[in-house]
Each structure stands twice: as C-alpha cells, then as structure tokens.
Amino acid sequence: MKKSIFLIPLLILALIFTGCSDDDTTPEPVNEEELITTMTVTLSPVGGGTDVVLKTVDMDGDGGEDPVVTISGGNLTAGTTYDGTIELLNETETPAEDITEEVEEEADEHQFFYIIGTGLNVTTNYEDEDGDGNPIGVEFTLVANAASSGDLTFTLRHEPNKSAAGVATGDITNAGGETDITETFSITIE
Amino acid sequence: MRNYAFAIMLVCSNLAVSQNCKHTLSGKVLDLHDGSILSGATLVVAETESISQTSIDGDYTILGLCENITYSIRILHSSCETKTFYVKISEDTQRDFKLEHHLEELNEIILEGKAYENNTNTTLENNVSKETLERYSTGALGDALNSLSGVSSLNKGNGIVKPIVNGLHSSRIIMVNNGVRMQDQEWGAEHAPNIDINSVGRLTLVKSASALQYGGDAMGGVIIAEALKVPVKDSLYGKTMASLTSNGRGGVLTSELTKSHSNGWYGTVQGSIKRFGDFEAADYILSNTGLIEQNVSLRLGLNKFNYGIEGYFSFFSSKIGILRASHLHGAADQVRAFESNTPLIINDFTYNIGAPRQNVKHQLARIKGFKTFENFGTLSLQYDYQQNNRLEFDIRRGDDRDKAAMDLELNTHTLLLDYENDFEHKLDLKSGLMARYQNNFANPNTGVRRLIPDYDKYELGIYLLGNYALNDRWLLEAGARFDYTHLDVYKFYRTSFWEDRNYDVLYPNIVVEDLGTQVLANPNLKFHNASATAGLKYTFKDNYKLFLNYALASRTPNPSELFSEGLHHSGARIELGDLSFNSEVGHKVSATIQRDHDTFSFSINPYVNTISDFIIIEPTKILETIRGNFQVWEYRQTNAQLLGVDIDAAYKFTDKLNFTHQLSIVKGYDRSRNLPLISMPPVSTKNEISFEHPKFHNLKLALQSEYVFAQNEYPDNNFKVYVPETETTELLDISSTPSAYHLLNFNSSIDFEITKTSLLTVGLGITNILKTSYRNYLNLQRFYADDLGRNFLLNLKFKY
C-alpha cells in the first residue's frame, strides 16, 4: 500500500519525459518591432535643386557590424536654405516599417536634436510641434550660411524633459531621456 | 506508547546469554544540535529487555552487559525522535548518545553563527536565527543572510538582493528551499532568489561545496531554507506579524497557522503580502523602486515513526521596480548619468511601479516520502516541479509600450532517491540519485531578440557521502558525486556574430536554418562533472573544535555564459557568451577553529578557493551602433583564486550585556592575467553591543555598527567615449569603487504575554540612524544613485 505512494512521482516523471522528448518544433525568429535600422535625413533646397541625402543603415541593430553612413547629392551650397525631413525605418521587416510614424504618434515623448560641430556654419530651426507646442524635429529647416565644414549630429531622445532650459530651442544639454538613435555626418558647405 | 510496543517487538530477537556479563555501559543522552542534556530519556536494551532512564543530569547506566555482543539500544524521549544505537561491548564502556530534538524547535532560538551539524560535518555551518529572519521580514532573503560573516550581497537597488558567499554568487551558489534545489534563472546578476523570507523557519549556510547531496557545483556554498519541524502531538499554533517601515512607506503582513495531530498528521498554511512605494536615499527619492510581493505556501504531511509523506506547495510572486534613472541607452548616456551626483530622474513619491520593472512568478510543488527499514536505513523519494516565469519590462515605444521585453518560462522536474543508513552509529552513510529535466521557453512575442535561448536540459547525478567517528574527538568525512548534463539548445545567432566568432567553420553541422541576417543553430552540449569532498572534525579541550575540509566542485556553464548575444538593457551593454566553454572546476580548502563558551566564543575561518576555467565577463571593446556607442562585455575563462577569512566573536560582559564582532575579508585574483577580480566584496566589519533583560518582558536592545571599507583592488575597465554634444572624448569610469562607509543601526524588542498561550512582541528598529549618504560597490545601482537613507521599522508579532 505504502509502496504505491512512491510510484506516483515515478509515473509523473515518466509522463513528462515522454511528453517532452518528441518535441522537435524549432522556435520561431523574433520580429524586432522596435528596431531602427535606417535613418534618412533629406535636405531639399528651397526653390529647387538636388536633394542632399544623409543616410545611416545598421541592419544588425546592436550586432557586431558598424552602421554604414552615406551622403549623396553632393555638398551643401552656401547661402541656401534647406527643408529637412527625417525618416526612420525598420528594414528587417518586409515591407519596411516606418518608425517615424510611431515617433510622431508619441510626439510629446520624442525630440530630435541637431548638434552642430565646430567649424560648420549652419543654423537649424524646428518646423513641427507636438500637442504642447514643443518641437519634435522630424521636420526642420537648415540654413547653410557660409562655406565651411564640420560634423552634424542627429540625435533622437526618448522621454526628454522638453520643458527644461533650452531644450525647446534645440539645446540637448538639459534634455535627459535616452538616446534612441544618433549619427554624426561630416558636412561640407561650398 | 507505539514506540514501547516496537521496542518490545524487538525483544523477540533475543540472544543467548553466556560468558562474561558484568560490563556496564554508561554516559549521557544529549541533544544532537546543541549538546544540552536530556533527562528522563528511556533506554531499552532489546537483547536483555532491560530498561533504564537518564537522571536529571542526563546520565544513565546499564548493568550486566556481556562481552563481544553488539547490543541494540533504543532511546526514547518525549521531545525527540526515537533512535536505535548499536554498541559492541568488550569492556566497561562510556558512550554519549545524541538524539534529534523535535518539539522544542518551535520556540527555539538558534544563536547566530552557532554550529548545527546536519548537512556536512567537516565545514562549519552558519545559521540565521528565527529572530533575525523575523527582523528582516520586510527585506529580502539576501538581507538576512547578509547578517552572517563571509556573506555579502549583490544588489540591484534594494529589491533585488543576491547573496554572495565568500566572494561568489549566482550560479555558484545553490539555494535549497524545503529540500528542493531552486531553478529560478539564478544565473542573472539581477535575478533575486524567489523565496519568501517569511516562509523560512530555519536558514542554514554551508560555505563550501561539501553538501554534495544538493549538487556538486556549489563553488561558493549552499544556502538551505527549511520550514520548522512540526511536533507529533495535538496542537494548533501560529503567528501573525505586521511590519511597517518609514522608508518605502510600506510594510509586510504575514501569517502562519499549523495544525498537528498525535497520529502524525500535520498541516501548515502560510501567506504574506509585501508592499512598498518608492524608497528614499538620504537626500532624494529613488524613483520607481517600489515593490509588491505576494506569497502563499501550504504543507501537508504524515509523520510516523518509520515512514512518512509530505506535500509542499509554494507560490511566490513579485513585482520589483528598477530605478528609473538607471535605464540608459549607450555609453554617451552613461557619461551623462555618471557626471551627475544625483539621479537624472527624480519624481514625487508614488506607489506606482512603472518601467523598468520585473514581474516574477515562481511555483514549487514537492512530494516526498520516506520509509525506514530496520537494520538497513531510510529510503526517501522526492519529486518536485518548479515553474519560473520572468517578465522584464523596459521603457519602450509605440505598440510595444506595455509589452514585456523579456518573457522566459523555465519548467523543471526533479526526481530524487536518497538513502541514509541507520545501522552503525560510527559510520553514517548517505547516497542518492537525481534525475532532472528542464525546459526553457523564451516567448518570441516580446519583439526583442532572445537573451536566453530555448533549451531542454537533462541531468543525472549520483552521490555517496559518509562520515566516520573515530572516537569522541575525531570525525572523518568523505564523499563523491558525479553529474551528467545534456543541453539541447535552439538559438538564433546574428550572422555577423556567427561568422565573427568563426562558428561557421567550427560548428557548420549545427545550423538548422539560415535566414540571411540570422542563423538558427542547434547546439547539443554534454558535460561530465565530478565533485568530491574530504574533511575532518577534531574536538579538543571540551569547547574547541577544528574543522578542516577540502571540496572539489565542478560547474556546467550557465545559459547566459554560453549563449548571451545582444544588448543587456539593465547594464547598457552588449554581452557575448561563448559556445565553446567547458565546466569550471574549483578546489576549496577551508579550516575553522571554533570555541564555544559561555563568556567568550569565537570562530576563525580562513579559506582558499582555486578555480580553473573560471568564467568572468569583462569589457573588450566599444561597438558602434545606430543607437550610439555601446560597451561590449565578453565572457572568458581564466584561472582564478579567492582567499579570505571570516571571523566571528562573542563576549558576554554580564548576564545581560553582550558584545559580538564579525569580520569578513576576501580577495579575488585572475591568476592568468594577474589582475584582481571584479565585484569582490570589500572588507567589512560588524560590531554589536546588546542588552537583554529576560525578566523584564524579555527586553532586548542592540546597537550595531557596520563599517565597509573601500575596495582597493579592482580591474581597470574604464574606457573612452566620444560625446558629439560636447565634441569631447570622455572617460567613462565604470571601475572605481565607492568610498568606505559606516552605518549605525538600532534594534529593540519587548514581549507581552496576552494569555497563557499567546505572546505579543513589539519591535522597533532604525537602520542608517545617521542618515549617511553612501554607495555600495556591490549594488549595480551605485553608478546612478545613493543607497538607502534612514529607515524606521515597527514590528508587531503575535504568536498563538
């Protein structure tokens, strides 16, 4: 009678082992929904001309391969004002997922910053705003003032403090939050 | 009465009496645990049917025993398990017998650091007293363990507390909960043990791998949590405890009820609820550090003299907030956070727990039966099932906002068959077999690449442990264990990583599917691990003991060491494992000299732990990604050595005034590269002065000082990061250790008798009285915020 007690767990284990050992289904790959693989900054000269396109692509996300940075459409022209738009994509999905839409949906929690490196003579201006009247930065204007060259960094912050000093005018110093994307481009103005 | 009947049955195997029958057997009957005398114990000699009793001093004398005959002597005591001893008589013999105490355990108070020989015999075991456990009712299990010398904790904030034993933690520590080895993704530095401190009746620590019955891979040690034993008598008792704290503005409510019968049936039900809001450092609120914990445990069993069965079930659920300001993307964000003296995000106090946070549920079910066979021993069989579900929530965007970033489910089934001999008092043998099946499922719906892959793990183990008492002074112990582990894993590797590691050349046959940017591989890994222990215990000058132990431990690399490949958000770093790792092998030699005395007691425990193929993680490079620069940390195997000493001392000035001292030193080195090991606990010392007045409502007052030195030996893992905002290259100092700190704590309690059978204990405690601002090297949150500020604690315990 008492010995039968010991058989119960043995039976349970036997069931488990047989139940699981035939399980040969392979796991499915994870859809990386939030991943940003591509940032394209398009600068269109006001009044017409060739677009200058700044692009960075990092297909393996946090993986070992460095992002590929390209600038097409030549150098910027001094004295020209450019309409700028930023597009974010997740190209691991087909068709590519437009992350810019997500950013705009949560406009109050996102802001782009344009960080102008030493030597580069440009000025930027936000051309869009969230529900609170604060900038988002997906759309902007860039004025190429005089012939010069230097770095231009585009940084997207998630959950920045938009009411902190200087943040609404594009100063990243007090913005806080986390960096969702950041890329530095070497720009030349002729 | 049943036992007497049994004793009389034994008499049937009577022996012919001849030759010299004038020998006497005398000695004492003692409590196995603390050596206290047991008066009124009955000794029945089966062969002669003679019955004698121990005197008030625990002495007994049995006359008229014959030469060259082995007598079986059954000893019965009202509050002990009945036990039979076998004694061979060749002359007048002096022998002390030890019985396992039963009933008194209900009210027992074990002194801190006091030896309690149970799991091993040649390493000193440390116990956390029930009193200490109750005092830490609002904290984590790791906090209570921290009160022992040689133990520190690896924290993530104050909600996640992992014990570090002699410098080692996580997979190198075995946690045993009511006889079940916890399988709760213990490998992760931010995965706390899923045991409710309020469900633990006795907590024991073995600082070596010598408790082979639980596993052979306890490089650091074994932590054993058990419920108190239930007496075999008609009784109904329990307790309810409520604790409130000022820091975190929350508390704990816990209750326990036990019903027992003289026919051996018993049952216990226990539950607790813990709830805290944001905790506070000395100068600011630690936003998003609240926690909620809910636990229930049930126990039902039958305890008969020679057989028994017990079922145990526990459900543990916790929701722990992680400091909001510690969530960062990339190295440039880290630079910003490190430069600030205060956390970058400080919000108003709230009970809400947002992201980042962890939700963990752990269920454990166990059934165990034992049967004792006369002249053979006790066989026990145990089956346990555990399910651990871990959800980690990050700060996310869009539709994924409320979705877990990590969702792991770990299911484990274990079958244990153990045998313990009972026939020869000088040689105690224990042996057993273990079979385990484990499955990990990483839910792909998270939208984040799996940090830990899907796997099936099969384990088989066999062990034999024995100790032999040469005489009253010398005891020898030896044991061996063999474990076999088979891991069947399905993992998606990034093609870039797969090729970078040369896995495409080394393991071309394990690729199941090539998806372009990803490769699905099916590694099948097998590990054969041997472990062993040998030691001795020498008792001298009545109150001195010397323990000497060698333990060989072998540990299979954990899934995180083998398979990590990707961004670990909580560290803002990319972690890379290595598929080719083999088992770690550790050799630990430890010695303890202990003096157990009324006025002055001490123990000194030096040790050396030499580990080959020790797996460490260290930063190797900076990786550029579209999200900025990330530090890459890679696991690597090396030869390591840990040396240290733990010292405990207690001095009694008067009956009422006590002083206790604790000192723990550990040093760890990477011997291959001649560098210090990272995250080694700094030297620390605790000194306490306590006053007790048992006659005045059992009043207890204690003032404790805790001094933690700065860790002066650490590897330099700092690196430089380019910050575009400032166009500068900044040094990210992730290596420097925080300065030394001193904390002052106060604790008090007073008892009030409500009725004859119920007692109310009121406790008041203050931790960090001086409101010291400090950072703890072993708290992963130290980069971003100070540790806890002052806390007032009120504790009401009602025992009935």
DSSP letters spanning B309-330? EEEEEEEEEEEEE--GGG---H
| Contact yes or no for B566/B451 (Cβ under 8 A) | yes
Write down the pLDDT at residue B29. Answer: 87
**Contact state of A158 with B333 under an 8 Å Cβ cutoff:** no
B2-101: what fold? Answer: Immunoglobulin-like (2.60.40)
Q: Tokens representing B678? A: 């990272």
Q: Which of B366, B627, B721, B729 has the highest number of chain A CBs within 10 A, making it the mutation to test binding with A?
A: B627
The residue extents of the domains of chain A are 29-189
Q: What is the largest CA-CA distance in chain A?
A: 97
Q: Which residues of B touch A5 (CB under 8 A)?
A: 309, 369
pLDDT of residue B642: 97
Query: Shortest Cα distance from B422 to chain A (angstroms)?
Result: 20
Q: Does B502 touch chain A (CB under 8 A)?
A: no
Tell me if chain A has a CB within 8 Å of the CB of B453.
Answer: yes
Residue of chain A nearest B446, judged by CA positions: A30
Tokens of A13: 């284990």
| Residue A20 pLDDT greater than 70, yes or no | no
Q: Are B489 and B525 in contact (CB under 8 A)?
A: yes
Listed in sequence order, the residues at least 6 apart from B584 whose beta carbon sits closer than 8 Å to its beta carbon are: B219, B553, B554, B555, B557, B611, B612, B613, B614, B615, B637
> What are the per-10-residue average pLDDT scores of chain B (800 residues)?
42 45 85 73 83 84 84 81 80 81 35 39 81 89 90 90 93 93 87 91 87 92 88 88 95 94 92 96 95 95 88 95 87 86 92 93 95 86 96 85 91 95 76 96 90 94 91 90 96 91 93 90 96 93 91 95 85 88 96 92 96 93 83 94 96 94 96 94 96 92 97 93 87 93 96 90 95 94 94 94
pLDDT tops 70 at residue A2: no
pLDDT at A15: 55
pLDDT digits (tens, 9 = 90+) for B174-210: 999 999 999 988 888 889 999 999 999 889 998 888 8
Token reading at A17: 């082992």
Q: What is the mean pLDDT of chain A?
A: 86
User: What is the rounded CA–CA span in Å between residue B477 and residue B125?
Assistant: 15
Interface contact flag, B624 A151, Cβ < 8 Å: no
- B308 to each of A3, B382, B419, B527, how far by Cα in Å? 11, 12, 14, 36
Contact B405, B390 (CB under 8 A): no
Decide if B700 contacts B131 (C-beta within 8 A).
no
- Contact A29/B520, CB-based, under 8 Å? yes
CATH (residue range A29-189): 2.60.40
Mind telling me how many Å the CA of A48 is from chain B's nearest CA?
Answer: 31
* Contact (Cβ atoms closer than 8 angstroms) between residue B581 and residue B614: no
| Domain assignments of chain B as residue spans, ordered by start | 2-101, 225-422+434-713+723-799
Architecture of the structural domain at B225-422+434-713+723-799: Beta Barrel (2.40)
Tell me how far the alpha carbon of residue A13 is from its chain's centroid: 49
Q: Which residues of A touch B396 (CB under 8 A)?
A: 34
DSSP secondary structure code for residue B496 in this structure? H
Question: What is the rounded CA–CA span in Å between residue B607 and residue B586?
Answer: 13
B342: left (phi over 0), alpha (psi -120 to 50) or beta: beta
> Which of A7, A23, A30 is the best substitution to test chain B (most B C-beta atoms within 10 A)?
A30
Are B625 and A105 an interchain contact pair (Cβ–Cβ within 8 Å)? Answer: no
Sequence-distant contacts of B79-87: CB under 8 A, at least 24 apart: B79/B103, B79/B104, B79/B231, B80/B31, B80/B38, B80/B41, B82/B3, B82/B6, B82/B305, B84/B46, B84/B422, B85/B425, B86/B423, B86/B424, B86/B425, B87/B25, B87/B425
Question: What local confidence, expressed as pLDDT, does residue B424 receive?
Answer: 60
Task: Convert the pLDDT of each residue in A90-127 to its tens digit.
Answer: 988 888 899 999 899 999 999 999 999 999 999 999 99
Best to test chain B binding among A178, A181, A185 (most B CBs inside 10 Å): A178
Q: Which two tokens stand for residue B458?
A: 């099969």
Q: How far is B44 from chain A (nearest CA, A)?
A: 28
Which of A15, A31, A33 would you mutate first to test chain B, the one with the most B CBs within 10 A? Answer: A33
pLDDT at residue B106, rounded to an integer: 29
What's residue B162's pLDDT? 92
pLDDT at B33: 57
ipTM value greater than 0.90: no
The answer to whether the CB atoms of B398 and A182 lie below 8 A apart is no
**CB-based contact, B329 to chain A, within 8 Å:** yes
pTM, two decimals, is 0.84
